[in-house]
Amino acid sequence: MDFNLSEEHQAVREAARDFAENHLLPGVIDRDNEQKFSPELLRQMSEMGFMGMMVSPDYGGGGMDTLSYVIAMEEISKVDASAAVIMSVNNSLVCWGLERFGTEAQKEKYLTQLASGKVVGAFCLSEPEAGSDATSQHTTAIDMGDHYVLNGTKNWITSGGTSSICLVMAQTHPEKQHKGINAFIVEKGSEGFVVGKKEDKMGIRASDTHTLMFTDVKVPKENRLGDDGFGFKFAMSTLNGGRIGIAAQALGIAAGAFEISLKYSKERKTFGKPISEHQAIQFKLSEMATKVEAARLLVYKAARLKDEGKDYIQASAMAKLYASETAMWVTTEAVQVHGGYGYVKEYHVERFMRDAKITQIYEGTSEIQKLIIARELLK
């Protein structure tokens, strides 16, 4: 068992850290306040190769492994979790799903644009009545011969406003239940495709989250992913890998909050000495550091299993569960370490705490992760 990173992985970490500190950190509080992510920053992320890291160079991607991806995700998330979730959805859910299950024609037409960052993708599974119960798809796709007609609503869609290409799950054969669901590539701008209101969120505020509505949207038959009825399996397979990305995001949020707290504890003085010399603060820092390191090892393990072509379902669920719970705990403690300053936006940790909460919810709640882990244990 080797815990050392290769020179390539170290280089990825340094590049991501440099980009985060020099490009994302300036203005991160303003972006959170204004609920806007800069198109210029998105362009820079694309130029750095962060939007298609694991995609084959044949389709304009970086051809990197999953470990490289989670290392970059951690460093980006240490500074700006909103940037990280844009990156995560495009990499883990959209690009990976297309490369793994798309036809050659679909890859040439769509994946090349997504991997290069020319356009941003969105993953559309959740609905008003289909969150944790993803089988309850009320969006329908009626087979009309050479095309499908799509009707329905999708909720909580990351990059819903800025995306140009959406992967949409819809029910074609209700009598077959989840085996009747299909997945489609739907282009923004299609007649009947409407972007709804932008959600005013507690955290990850700079990433845009929208409701998407489809009214008699025509989707060409060639835009279906996989065989008829493959949609639910496509969604679940894609989410298994996506959880690793969100686990890395949660890890980064926790690590960022810890690093800021450690630095602050050496500078802030009470009773004539730095608060880092008080045992109460030392105990907090010790537990924060231990939890962050444990989360990191779980995330790296899941990434390595995926890279080695081994079963990573349980590992990804464990990483997602533990890292997200750690992010919430560490960021809350970070605010406490900072005292009154922790409640002020200037010190960043209150934003980390707000951003951390969603990692326990999206791409499978903590409760769903426990069900997945139990299911894998009891096989």
The one catalytic residue among 287, 363, 367, 376? 363
CB atoms within 10 A of CB 105: 10
Q: H-helix or E-strand containing 273?
A: strand 273-274
What span, in angstroms and rounded, lies between the C-alpha atoms of 18 and 215?
44
Distance between CA 136 and CA 164 in Å, rounded? 26
What the block records as the tokens of 174 is: 């209700």
Does residue 158 sit in helix, strand or coil? strand
Tell me the β-bridge partners of 212: 154, 195
Q: Which residues pair with 158 in a beta bridge?
A: 209
* 182 Cα distance to chain centroid: 22
For the residues of 10-24, what is the DSSP string, one character each?
HHHHHHHHHHIIIII
199 is catalytic: no
Cβ-based neighbour number of residue 95 at 10 Å? 26
| Residue 302 Cα to chain centre, angstroms | 15
Q: Confirm if 23 and 62 have CB atoms less than 8 A apart.
A: no
Task: Please name the helix (run of DSSP H) or strand (run of DSSP E) that holds residue 250, with its range, or none.
Answer: helix 231-267
Distance (Å, whole) CA 246 – CA 241 = 9
Strand pairing class (273-274; 224-225)? unpaired
DSSP codes of every residue in 217-237: EEEEGGGEESSTT-HHHHHHH
DSSP per-residue string spanning 84-143: HHHHHIIIIIIIHHHHHH--HHHIIIIIHHHHHTSS-EEEE--BTTBSS-TT----EEEE
Helices 279-307 and 66-77: crossing angle in degrees, nearest 10, is 150
How far apart, in whole angstroms, are the C-alpha atoms of residue 41 and residue 44? 5
Q: Any idea which residues carry the catalytic annotation? A: 363
